[in-house]
Amino acid sequence: MNIKDTFVASLVPIFLGFGFVIAKPAFESFPPILLMGIRFTFAASLLIWWFPIPKGYLKRIFAASLVANTLQYSITYTGLDLIDASSAVLLVQMEVPFGVIFAYFILKEKPTIRALIGIAIAFVGVYILTGSPNLDGKFIGISLTILGSAIWALGQVMVKPLSKEINPLALVAWLAFFSGPILILLSSIIDGNTVNYLTNAKIDHWIIAIYIGLIMQPITYGCFYYVLKNNPLYKVLPIVTMGIPPTGLLAAIFLLGEKPTQELFIGGAIIIVGVILIIFTKNKKEEEIK
């Protein structure tokens, strides 16, 4: 990955980690699924006018949006609502191990022994982290967050071929175009009182919704799909996800006042060690062949 792509990729976790954490206070006004529906509706409303309908790709974009946006964000942010943001921001690092697994089965990107060891270490870290006292009795929240990470990785494997054929921001726009209304409809079925949530939401929670919809979504995923277009998934995912823990943890500590436990730091550190090992999934000979 060249310097330009590395820099662009590094912007993603800064905006994403901060946005992931500050979404939690907004759950006081918006149920998680509704907030995600607002997020993608805002993003689509901003971007959709600048890009023509990608004829010939709509079915694939719709399928990708169901997995990468609708299903994943419903599950991940519901999990976030049930556990501390500091824990969630570390658990979502499992996107990298799951990304390698799905890339192998779907894209035929064969992992090295180092990557397999990294995956094993990451799961050990999850086991230690989930022993933290602040996660006691929160099995559902933990499971949903980890499941969301797996679905996110699967979604990006589906998106990667599209990112090579469609403008990155156009892809963000049309993925959001499909997922936004579906998420709002889904929330109205599950949570009910959608109009009541919207009309009674606090101003600062609307500001959060505006940030994650109009700023975070276009910038983070525009950058992500741009880099994904030119680089293998195994190189992009680690850079994106490795920056989320420090950004997210700092935001959780200083903005939300959370106090991470010893188990969280130890388990999180082990997860990150596993992720670091996964970064080097190609040897020099393979790079020369590419």
The secondary structure of the chain, three-state, reads: CCHHHHHHHHHHHHHHHHHHHHHHHHCCCCCHHHHHHHHHHHHHHHHHHHCCCCCCCHHHHHHHHHHHHHHHHHHHHHHHHHCCHHHHHHHHHHHHHHHHHHHHHHHCCCCCHHHHHHHHHHHHHHHHHCCCHHHCCCHHHHHHHHHHHHHHHHHHHHHHHHHCCCCHHHHHHHHHHHHHHHHHHHHHHHCCCHHHHHHHCCHHHHHHHHHHHHHHHHHHHHHHHHHHHHCCHHHHHHHHHHCHHHHHHHHHHHCCCCCCCHHHHHHHHHHHHHHHHHHCCCCHHHHHHC
What pLDDT shows up at residue 229? Answer: 76
Mean residue pLDDT of the chain comes to 85
pTM equals 0.84
What pLDDT shows up at residue 10? Answer: 81
What pLDDT shows up at residue 188? Answer: 95
pLDDT tens per residue across span 219-258: 887 787 788 777 776 677 667 766 778 888 888 988 888 8
What pLDDT shows up at residue 289? Answer: 33
In terms of pLDDT, which residue wins out, 137 or 33? 33
What pLDDT shows up at residue 281? Answer: 52
